[in-house]
Amino acid sequence: MAGTKTTTGAPTDVTQKHNQGGIGESTLRPDGTLKVTGEFAYSSDMWHEDMLWGQTLRSTVAHAEIVSIDTSEALAMAGVYAVLTYDDLPAEMKNYGLEIQDTPVLAHGKVRHHGEPVALVAADHPETARRAAAKIKIEYRELPVITDEASALAEDAVLVHEGRDDEYIEWVSHPNIVHNQPIIRGNAEEAAKKADFVVKGEYTFGMQDQAFLGPESGLAVPAEDGGVDLYVATQWLHSDLEQIAPVLGLPEEKVRMTLSGVGGAFGGREDISMQIHACLLALRTGKPVKIVYNRFESFFGHVHRHPAKLYYEHGATKDGKLTHMKCRIVLDGGAYASASPAVVGNASSLSAGPYVIDDVDIEAVALYTNNPPCGAMRGFGAVQACFAYEAQMDKLADEVGMDRVEFRQLNAMEQGTIMPTGQPVDSPAPVAEILRRVKARPLPPERQWEVADGDADVRELPGGLSNTTHGEGVVRGVGYAVGIKNVGFSEGFDDYSTAKVRMEVINGEPVATVHTAMAEVGQGGITVHAQIARTELGVQQVTIHPADTQVGSAGSTSASRQTYVTGGAVKNSCELVREKVLEIGRRKYGSYHPAWATAELLLEGGKVVTDGGEALADLAELLEGETVEIEAEWRHRPTVAFDKRTGQGNGHVQYSFAAHRAVVEVDTELGLVKVIELATAQDVGKALNPLSVVGQIQGGTTQGLGVAVMEEIVVDPKTAKVRNPSFTDYLIPTILDTPTIPVDVLELADPNAPYGLRGMGEAPTLSSTPAVLAAIRNATGLELNKTPVRPEHLTGT
């Protein structure tokens, strides 16, 4: 495309200068104030002087044959530049997907879920694009909908995907099963005979939305070489690239991707949404095309957390030792596979929780249905399992007659415990200790809405400012839960990251530049990367280059892996740069030059200098006229795929652990719940940035609270249509719903990890949900085996 690009809102270098610390210090995020004040440039804020607007037409039914598509009226509208359907796709490859390429770029032959993309429009105004999309006529012939396990696996079930040939098909008993993972260890049947107490439970976990800040959006700009530049909010630039390029019929080097402003992700941006569509329209029209989903459309444009049915059996001896566990976990993957195979692996391998159980019989499956596609979300299969096994622990403790926390501590795993997969836990596993810490914390005062002068602060009551209760029927409950989460990609995935580090002198000062493809989605990675560079290179000023595909892959910002893996890559590259600088110094000065001696001390000691002292000046003198740049990869220790029949294998890299104590007050007459406190303790290995660590733990805890008492995407069981695709009807916690969240951070180093750190962003999402449910059960005496808990569940109405 000829002309000059003028992209407003595109990312620029982030330079972090003086008074920013190194590893172990609480440094502020450069994007924090901008996001709080509303000045942050999200991807939806990008602008190009001659851009068009893209619009997606989505199916109005969940399962149907496409009889005909008529685009003539839309094409005839003034201001419309292009209308695309499946038949207009330029390349032989017309599908994409994270693990299984089963998702069509645009529906072909039939639609498989409500809101599936069918056609695209590009116009000179967003309203014109919307009106044009509405003029496209589609004739459907509706098909039976598959909405649950019974309809999916029935003998005469309609197949969601005909003619499957993916790698999982030979291991499943029905084509509507995406993936199945059994785990067998010991002999659960024989062990059950030794149990003095056996408890069983059936649990239902609702579909949760990631509810991130900043709508899904991207800007595609056609280039003079026939390629395209894409600015997009995503979690995984290189995975997007690998899926986009074949569909466009372009080599990867002609699809240049740059991360734009991201407002959180939590798994919802790991899959492709508008990326391919924007590029297709840009290449067809020869003009930049921007696509921005509104919140209604966003509910259809990305995957959600898998809803699940979980069936559990546990046994224990009269002295409280666990004898066995049996479970079956059924995850609804929706219409397309997304990350379902990996979610199945996590759910099955972590289904026993952080407990010593030698005899297990486990099965986890994910189904194809006509419900919305489900994939990655914070906790990734382990969340659903934790909800069930923690409810089971309470039931079994009550049967044995033990305190619920003491029962968990008695059976808690520790370093050296063998997982159900046969993998030993080879780093600290302080499960008993984090439980002890949350239990030992003083409880908040009872009936705290009652103040000395007799006036009530209604904000502290269930129902909050709605003033629906005055405390007459309010009772308190306390509940505990603990969970285990894997860190990093598992089951033999080649999980690595790449970092390019440059060191040079600018304006008389040594400066480091860090360039990775890591997606900064709010987790604070760019801050940590600067801290690592300061620590390893001794500089004050660090520039973080915008993330793009002009550097090697950093993998996904998910699985609590980025600080571990990309942080490890930055550390590795910095160490290599440091060695190169030391070589320059030895070549320039030899061993006895005083300037070289102070610079060498600074570099080899990894000491951050914050006073602009002599050592920095000497280092600048040493580097004057030199530029040292190294790009290097870093890999953690390898994993292996779980055996498809037994589930055995060293499938995980690392584990993280969090415990919660929930204190709730429930109006049992009105069915209202007020969560007063969610105290938590978590081992993070090493807190590289303590302030960010606490923020991550509190954020994950709040998401767990949401799914406990309010969050659920409701899908009509007869039509498979989403009934609440907006934040008007899909409720998320506000500041008025969020309780006090005191955090107790342990730092027990993992010897296998950089700085001893432990990925920690997901673990608090696991145990916060069952802790809240346990507290509500404690207050009401009800069983409550479904999330979220709604007023009618508490009142029986």
pLDDT digits (tens, 9 = 90+) for 460-483: 889 887 878 888 889 999 999 999
Q: Is 450 a residue whose pLDDT tops 90?
A: no
Kindly report, residue by residue over 347-360, the tens digit of the pLDDT. 999 999 999 999 99
Q: Is 273 a residue whose pLDDT tops 50?
A: yes
Of 378, 333, 331, 384, nearest to 99 by C-alpha is: 333
DSSP state of 698: H
Confidence of residue 223 (pLDDT cuts 50, 70, 90): very high
Q: Which residues contact 700 (CB under 8 A, 6 or more apart)?
A: 378, 658, 761, 762, 763, 764, 765, 768
CB-CB neighbours of 219 under 10 Å: 29
DSSP string, 423-455: -B--S---HHHHHHHHHHSPPPPTTTTB-TTS-
Q: Contact, 554 vs 520, CB < 8 A?
A: no
Confidence of residue 587 (pLDDT cuts 50, 70, 90): confident
DSSP state of 522: S
Tokens found for residue 334: 């929706």
Q: What integer pLDDT is reported at residue 3 of this predicted model?
A: 35
CB-CB neighbours of 506 under 10 Å: 11
Q: Quickly tell me which residue has 């499943």 as its tokens.
A: 172
Q: Contact, 338 vs 272, CB < 8 A?
A: no
Q: Which range has the worst mean pLDDT, 30-34, 637-641, 682-686, 714-718?
A: 30-34
Residue 543 CA to residue 14 CA, distance in Å, equals 6
Q: What integer pLDDT is reported at residue 362 of this predicted model?
A: 98
Kindly report, residue by residue over 385-419, the tens digit of the pLDDT. 999 999 999 999 999 999 999 999 999 999 999 99
Confidence of residue 125 (pLDDT cuts 50, 70, 90): very high
Q: Is 47 a residue whose pLDDT tops 90?
A: yes
Task: Work out whether the CA dihedral 496, 497, 498, 501 comes out positive or negative.
Answer: negative
Kindly report, residue by residue over 92-118, the tens digit of the pLDDT. 999 999 999 999 999 999 999 999 999
Tokens found for residue 326: 């049996």
Q: Is 447 a residue whose pLDDT tops 50?
A: yes
Q: What integer pLDDT is reported at residue 599 of this predicted model?
A: 64
Kindly report, residue by residue over 592-649, the tens digit of the pLDDT. 566 666 666 666 655 544 444 567 787 888 888 999 999 999 999 999 999 999 999 9
In this structure, whether the domain defined by 43-143+224-262+269-296 belongs to CATH 3.90.1170.50 is answered with yes
Please calculate the CA angle 206-373-258 and round it to the nearest 5 degrees: 115
DSSP state of 63: S
Confidence of residue 6 (pLDDT cuts 50, 70, 90): very low
The residues that bridge with 577 in the sheet, in sequence order, are: none
3-state SS assignment for residue 260:
coil
- The CA radius of gyration of the chain, in Å to the nearest whole number, is 27
If one looks up domain 15-38+496-634 in CATH, what number appears? 3.30.365.10
DSSP state of 108: B
HEC sequence for 131-189: HHHHCCEEEEEECCCCCCHHHHHCCCCCCCCCCCCCCCHHHCCCCCEEEEEEEEECCHH
Q: Cα torsion at 61, 62, 68, 74 (round to 10°)?
A: 60
Q: What integer pLDDT is reported at residue 584 of this predicted model?
A: 87
Q: Is the model more confident about 649 or about 12?
A: 649
Tokens found for residue 509: 């000062």
Residue 703 CA to residue 726 CA, distance in Å, equals 17
Confidence of residue 588 (pLDDT cuts 50, 70, 90): confident
Domain with CATH 3.90.1170.50 in the chain: 43-143+224-262+269-296
Tokens found for residue 195: 């149990």
Q: Which range has the worst mean pLDDT, 134-148, 285-299, 506-520, 590-604?
A: 590-604
Sheet architecture: strand order including 628-635: 14-16, 541-544, 509-515, 496-506, 628-635
Q: What integer pLDDT is reported at residue 699 of this predicted model?
A: 96
Task: Tell me the mean pLDDT in the region 75-102.
Answer: 97
Of 467, 320, 521, 510, nearest to 401 by C-alpha is: 320
Q: What integer pLDDT is reported at residue 796 of this predicted model?
A: 79
Fold held by 436-489+653-795: Aldehyde Oxidoreductase; domain 4 (3.30.365)
Domain with CATH 3.30.365.10 in the chain: 15-38+496-634, 436-489+653-795
Kindly report, residue by residue over 519-542, the tens digit of the pLDDT. 999 999 999 999 999 999 989 899
Confidence of residue 5 (pLDDT cuts 50, 70, 90): very low
Residue 502 CA to residue 587 CA, distance in Å, equals 19
Confidence of residue 4 (pLDDT cuts 50, 70, 90): very low
Q: Is 201 a residue whose pLDDT tops 80?
A: yes
Q: What integer pLDDT is reported at residue 467 of this predicted model?
A: 78
Kindly report, residue by residue over 308-326, the tens digit of the pLDDT. 999 999 999 999 999 999 9
Q: Is 19 a residue whose pLDDT tops 80?
A: no
Q: What integer pLDDT is reported at residue 16 of this predicted model?
A: 60
Q: Contact, 678 vs 477, CB < 8 A?
A: no
Q: Contact, 67 vs 139, CB < 8 A?
A: yes
Residue 141 CA to residue 546 CA, distance in Å, equals 47
Tokens found for residue 632: 């290097």
Q: Which range has the worst mean pLDDT, 398-407, 444-453, 469-478, 739-748?
A: 444-453
Spell 256-266 as b/e; 16+ CB within 10 A means b: bbbbbbbbbbb
Residue 19 region, left (φ>0) first, then alpha (ψ -120 to 50), else beta?
Answer: left
DSSP state of 105: S
Q: Is 50 a residue whose pLDDT tops 80?
A: yes
Please calculate the CA angle 22-27-29 and round it to the nearest 5 degrees: 125
Q: Is 565 a residue whose pLDDT tops 50?
A: yes
Q: Is 68 a residue whose pLDDT tops 70?
A: yes
Q: What integer pLDDT is reported at residue 446 of this predicted model?
A: 86
